[in-house]
């Protein structure tokens, strides 16, 4: 009798563990090249008077934190939230950097005008990580979010991109594709990696 109760408890425990693991697996793995880049995460997208976008969950494995902390001080690891397509320089000046948010150790942030004429407004956030900090924790959910004002272009496709950078060299991690309706609402229709924006398939 006692043995069967024990087995039942073990079975229940296993079930809970499996369910927990399933929930955990909802956070997708970034396809990264640099060991110090974040490992897992999930995008957030909100459309209101401004577009809010970014990894609302950003996690590092212990080995990645070790790699991060092993970087020399001149590596300048940076989380980039690009309000455009950095690959071909398209989707410029539809989203203008307004506010950013980060809760991981950092040395500051900057707004960057990397797209469109040099005199146009900034559309990118660079958040400069502090690799030397003792407050990097494996499995911890950090956030890096940006708020953007909307440009006036309508009925167009566009995208925003998420990149980890060190030594000023990019490790592209993902993007969200969006469509701008005539009333200036921005609708996300895909994310890469697939499901990094929950319930959105991979971008074509």
Partner 1 sequence: MNSKKLWTVIGLIVVILAAAQAVYARFTADDQALDSSTCLNQTDSGGIDYTVKELPNGSLKVSVHVNWTDPETLNRYIQANRERALACLRAGGMDWIPVTVTFVRPLSWREVTVLRQATGLVVENYTFVATYENGRKAMIGGVADENSLVDIDKLAEIAKQQGVMVKGVMVLKGKVKNTSTGLGTLIDDERVYLADVVAVEVMEDLKGNPLYRDAKYIDVFVPSPYWDMGWD
Contact footprint for partner 1 (CB under 8 A): 73-74, 76, 78, 89, 97-103, 105-119, 122, 125-126, 128, 130, 132-133, 143, 147, 167-168
Burial label for 148, CB within 10 Å (0-12, 13-18, 19+), is: buried
Report the residue number, 111 or 193, with the smaller CB distance to partner 1.
111
Name the minimum Å distance from CB 89 to partner 1: 5
Query: Both tokens of residue 185?
Result: 């609402």
Looking at beta carbons only, is 73 or 155 nearer to partner 1? 73
Closest to partner 1 by CB, 42 vs 126, is 126
Give the C-alpha separation, 56 to 115, whole Å: 24
CB of 103 to partner 1, least distance (A): 4
Choice between 67 and 75, CB closer to partner 1: 75
* Phi-psi label, residue 89: left if phi above 0, alpha if psi -120 to 50, beta otherwise: left
In this complex, which beta carbon is closest to partner 1, that of residue 23 or of residue 168? 168
- In angstroms, what is the minimal distance from the CB of 7 to partner 1? 39
| Alpha carbons 129 and 121: distance in angstroms, whole number | 24
**Please, which residue, 149 or 189, has the CB nearer to partner 1?**
149
Residue 160 beta carbon to partner 1: minimum distance, rounded to whole angstroms = 16
Q: What minimum distance in Å lies between the beta carbon of 61 and partner 1?
A: 20
Min dist. Cβ of residue 8 to partner 1 (A): 36
Q: Is 121 exposed, middle or buried (0-12, 13-18, 19+ CB in 10 A)?
A: middle
């Amino acid at each position: 009798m006692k043995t069967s109760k024990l087995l039942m408890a073990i079975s229940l425990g296993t079930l809970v563990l499996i369910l927990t693991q399933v929930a955990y697996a909802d956070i997708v793995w970034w396809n990264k090249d640099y060991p110090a880049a974040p490992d897992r995460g999930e995008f957030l997208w909100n459309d209101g008077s401004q577009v809010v976008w970014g990894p609302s969950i950003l996690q590092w494995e212990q080995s990645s934190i070790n790699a991060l902390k092993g970087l020399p001080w001149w590596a300048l690891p940076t989380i980039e939230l690009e309000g455009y397509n950095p690959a071909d320089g398209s989707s410029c000046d539809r989203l203008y950097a307004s506010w950013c948010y980060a809760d991981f150790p950092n040395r500051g942030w900057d707004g960057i005008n990397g797209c469109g004429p040099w005199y146009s407004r900034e559309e990118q956030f660079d958040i400069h990580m502090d690799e030397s900090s003792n407050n990097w924790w494996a499995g911890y959910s950090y956030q890096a979010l940006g708020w953007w004002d909307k440009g006036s272009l309508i009925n167009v496709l566009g995208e925003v991109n998420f990149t980890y950078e060190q030594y000023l060299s990019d490790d592209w991690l993902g993007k969200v594709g969006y469509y701008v309706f005539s009333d200036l609402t921005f609708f996300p229709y895909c994310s890469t990696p697939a499901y990094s924006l929950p319930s959105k398939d991979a971008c074509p």
